[in-house]
Chains A and B, each alone.
Chain A
Amino acid sequence: MTEQLVAGLYREGAPVRDTKAPAGPIESRWSKRRFDARLVNPANRRKLSVIIVGTGLAGASAGATLGEAGYRVKSFCYQDSPRRAHSIAAQGGINAAKNYRNDNDSTYRLFYDTVKGGDFRARESNVYRLAEVSANIIDQCVAQGVPFAREYGGLLDNRSFGGVQVSRTFYARGQTGQQLLIGAYQALERQVAAGTVEMFTRHEMLELVVVDGRARGVIVRDMVTGEIETHLADAVVLATGGYGNVFFLSTNAMGSNTTAIWRAHRKGALFGNPCFTQIHPTCIPVSGAHQSKLTLMSESLRNDGRIWVPKAGGDTRHPREIPEAERDYYLERIYPAFGNLVPRDIASRAAKNVCDEGRGVGPEVEGVRRGVYLDFADAIKRLGLEAVRSKYGNLFDMYQRITGENPYEVPMRIYPAVHYTMGGLWVDYDLQSTIPGLFVTGEANFSDHGANRLGASALMQGLADGYFVLPNTINDYLADGPFATVGEDHPAVAEAAANVQSRVQTFLGLQGSRSVDSFHKELGQIMWEYCGMERTEEGLRTAVEKIRALRDQFWTDVRVLGEAEELNQSLEKAGRVADFFELAELMCIDALHRRESCGGHFRAESQTEDGEALRHDDEFAYVAAWEWGGMVGAPPVLHKENLVYEHVEMKQRSYK
């Protein structure tokens, strides 16, 4: 480890060496790993127990599958039912290399597109496996009764998505996430009825239990009674989703948080690429200070809608009164080859740029108009009103409900928003973190998307991890069992539980003057301003200072009313925001140290002459895996996992 601080903020430690990815031809790595992984015989499985936190696509599918296999599973979610996890909100679809369209799709092409789309910051072995099992996911979901869109011949329909050139996206109207999640949830409830899965709803994980270096359980709070409970097992799986709510305003569910993975990070799990945040270009803009949530308009709208702003700044005329000659269809102008269909990172930054120039549209919020038009007038003229209505009607209705404007007559207003976090706990090829016995799946891990996620790939990863990957790798760990029995009186268990108790009492005892939400909003503003779509060295340093100051204030001045032994939503939020403060600092340090632009991470100092993201593969072709510094505000330690590209040549992306 370096003695001196690097950039005054962190130390550098030993590189990450073993990712457990097998060597050899990429096509056979996954089957080789499966063959090499040790097995647990069916009679012994019932003696082994697994805790799974989170019931989204990754958690519910893993719970159902491990339950079927015969392990004893305890499943936890903070919602009132496992079916409400935020995977439910995904609209567009799920990719799979089925080549049902005979358009030359293949496992290799899905792998290639994903590595390239991630701007060469994902691990090739993982991405190949993801592409490989994608076809099985569709089979599994259809067998469960997921009602994918079908054609008149009875076969499955597909569409194209997110700039790729083949039609590999399976969908269920605009509710693909909901239908896939219901499939996994029903499979989970089937195991609940069978007695292999025990379900704990309205329970929130607040601490990880590590005994003799292994993950052995969790401390949770029953959110109804306030009771702090200890649950012990032979392995723990975190499937708790992303941490985009660090920005307060995001497309995430309000309850999505970082606590589970952050508590594990503090116990020794490395955190991979925390600064990689995906900004989605087509959200409904912020309408005022009261706003709690940003709503996505499906990316499929960009197939027919044209994006523009007035050529002149401060042009506040009604959009229909602005003549063609005075409009700037900026994506079509700058990226003639891809036009309005450029990838998410490119479209988002272009929208920010035109608004920064003062050419944004819509209401002024804090001095700037942050919105661009997504206009369907041409599509209506070309296809007819009815055709547009049948294609996008539900989205248009939703837009009208939220904004009060009729998008058939007035162009929609859209603006980018925080959507998905590619960072998360570092995992090896087995999805195991750096704490033995702690596995991390879905958005909660860092692994498969690199610096940018292609559309329709998040659902694919969640289900790949839960149905196919984890159930075939966790055996190898569990084959070490039976493990030594750990009692609730073990000092490590008692200490973890005591920590949770004392945090709860601290929040309730502070009796400060400001609400949790007011702190969260202020933190979110700092993050959006300095660690959002565009980052600079100076801005990130400012952010670290501001975060630290605000965090100090939080711990002296937050007001949490009510009691510990009851449903207390302020108390729940306080714990989450406290962890967001620590994560926010690490995100800024990670963004600061990565002096390159890639995918969802745009460093203003690293751009080409015409303003495009500029990577530095010679310096930064690695995963930044961060080790907890030991206490709040202490410098974290950077471990690098070098990325090697044997199959996809590293090239600058160009969409011109």
Chain B
Amino acid sequence: MRITLKVWRQKNAATPGRMVDYRLDDVSEDMSFLEMLDVLNESLIAAGEEPVAFDHDCREGICGMCGVMIDGVAHGPEMTTTCQLHMRSFSDGDTITVEPWRADPFPVIKDLVVNRGAFDRIIAAGGYISANTGAAPDAHAMPVPKADADRAFEAAACISCGACVAACPNGSAMLFTAAKVTHLGSLPQGQPERDDRVVNMLHQHDVEGFGGCTNIGECTAVCPVGIPLDTISQLNFDLRHALGRGH
């Protein structure tokens, strides 16, 4: 396949970026999108030009580290991570635009690499159950109804890639935050801190500069692991409940 790429190149956060065109003549449909970028980089290095920086690690769709806008869509045309997108999803002769996630709380570090540290700070604000090591009761001491466990799992599947933020016109991280609130709030172990959790995580979400949620739903349209939109309803429910109790 012959592919023309328009790639965002930006030396660092302080330098303005620009789109640069590259042509690849020998792309195989078996390549993943990131392997196609590897091939591009090999040709750039051979030509003495700095390779394109992009984030990636596990390359099997679970670590959440990769992620770019492809033709304006987070992770590209398939509902999957960028590492699991394959070139067979494109056609010979296509021109493909590749850009970094765009959101104020995700500043560009270089080329396609952005800083998603804000997600860690939202988790640190309360996205956990306070259980010190060594004194846990037997795992069977507290049964969990299967429906609750399944609901918790569904939300816990979030890989923190940031596609939801990149896709949202408001730059909101509500789906990410709601997934964690729903995961832990669905389990009996998560109840004692449930009110504090939603208030504190949402506070941090706003401090980081993420926008509010206006139920547009772009986040779920691009989420590679299918986190459901109703987690956000759950978050709103929990928030109202917590505020009603004076938190």
Which residues of A are interface residues toward B (Cβ below 8 A)? Answer: 61, 64-65, 68, 79-84, 86, 88-89, 98, 100, 136, 138-145, 147-156, 172-173, 175, 177-179, 182, 185-187, 189-190, 192-193, 199, 201, 224, 251, 253-255, 287-288, 290-293, 295-296, 398, 401-404, 467-468, 471, 515, 517-518, 559, 561-562, 566-567, 569-570
Contact = CB atoms under 8 A, between A and B. Distances in A.
Contacts of B32: 292-293, 402
B51 A570 contact: yes
B153 A253 contact: no
Contacts of A84: 57-58, 63-65
B183 to A, nearest CB: 7
Nearest to B27: A290
A296 B145 CA distance: 32
Residue with the highest number of chain A CB atoms closer than 10 Å, among B36, B138, B142: B138
Nearest to A83: B160
Contact of A140 (B28, B115, B128, B131): B131
Contact of A88 (B63, B129, B189): B63
A458 B67 CA distance: 28
A81 B157 CA distance: 17
A561 B140 contact: no
Given A145-B189, A156-B140, A561-B48, 15 more contacts: A65-B133, A80-B55, A139-B137, A139-B138, A145-B183, A147-B152, A150-B146, A154-B144, A186-B129, A193-B124, A251-B60, A295-B59, A401-B80, A515-B45, A567-B53
Contacts of B61: 398
A291 B59 CA distance: 11
B123 A189 contact: yes
Contacts of A80: 55, 65, 115-117
B42 interface: yes
A293 B60 contact: yes
Contact of A143 (B12, B62, B64, B131): B131
Contacts of A517: 38, 42
B149 interface: yes
A182 B123 CA distance: 10
For the complex of A and B, the 7 pairs showing the least CB-CB separation, nearest first, are A154-B143, A186-B128, A143-B136, A139-B136, A143-B131, A293-B59, A147-B153
Contacts, number: 218
Given A152-B146, A253-B63, A566-B12, A68 B128 contact: no
Contact of A145 (B56, B84, B190): B190
Contacts of B80: 401
Nearest to B54: A569
Interface string B10-53: 01100000000000000011111011101101100110111101
Contacts of B12: 566-567
Contact of B65 (A79, A150, A156): A79
A144 B127 contact: no
B96 interface: no
23 contacts: A64-B133, A84-B64, A136-B136, A139-B137, A139-B138, A143-B189, A145-B184, A150-B146, A154-B144, A155-B140, A156-B139, A172-B153, A189-B124, A192-B120, A224-B109, A255-B57, A287-B28, A290-B31, A296-B60, A403-B30, A515-B46, A567-B12, A567-B113
A492 B228 CA distance: 54
Interface string B170-208: 000000000000011001011000000000000000000
Given A79-B65, A140-B133, A147-B152, A569 B51 contact: yes
Contacts of B28: 287-288, 290
Nearest to A287: B30
Given A189-B120, A398-B61, A567-B113, A290 B39 contact: yes
A515 B35 contact: no
A562 B53 CA distance: 11
Q: Which of B11, B48, B116, B144 is most buried by chain A, counting CB atoms within 10 A of its CB? A: B144
Contact of B58 (A88, A398, A468): A88
A136 B136 CA distance: 8
B159 interface: yes
B145 to A, nearest CB: 6
B102 interface: no
A154 B133 contact: no
A81 B116 contact: yes
Interface string B100-118: 0000000001100101110
A144 B160 CA distance: 19
A451 to B, nearest CB: 26
A403 B136 CA distance: 44
B156 interface: yes
A370 to B, nearest CB: 15
A199 B124 CA distance: 11
A254 B65 CA distance: 11
A146 B242 CA distance: 24
B110 A566 contact: yes
Nearest to A85: B63
Contacts of A142: 136, 139, 142, 189
A106 to B, nearest CB: 16
B149 A150 contact: yes
Contacts of B88: 404
B210 interface: no
B36 to A, nearest CB: 8
Given A145-B152, A156-B140, A569-B51, A190 B130 contact: yes
Contacts of B127: 186, 189
B140 A100 contact: yes
B145 A154 contact: yes
Contacts of A467: 133-134
B148 to A, nearest CB: 9
B129 A143 contact: yes
A471 B133 contact: yes
A577 B183 CA distance: 40
A185 B25 CA distance: 43
A89 B60 contact: yes
A68 B156 CA distance: 24
Contact of B59 (A143, A254, A404, A562): A254
Nearest to B38: A292
Contact of A154 (B56, B109, B146): B146
A641 B62 CA distance: 39
A402 B86 contact: yes
Nearest to A197: B124
Nearest to B64: A84
B214 interface: no
B139 A98 contact: yes
Contacts of A178: 62, 157, 159
A154 B146 CA distance: 6
A149 B152 CA distance: 10
A402 B86 CA distance: 7
B123 A147 contact: no
Nearest to B57: A253
Contacts of B134: 65, 136, 140, 467-468
Contacts of B184: 145
B120 A201 contact: yes
- Most chain B beta carbons < 10 A, residue from A82, A154, A290: A290
Contacts of B62: 88-89, 175, 177-178
A486 B198 CA distance: 43
Contact of A144 (B129, B144, B149): B129
A304 B39 CA distance: 38
A487 to B, nearest CB: 30
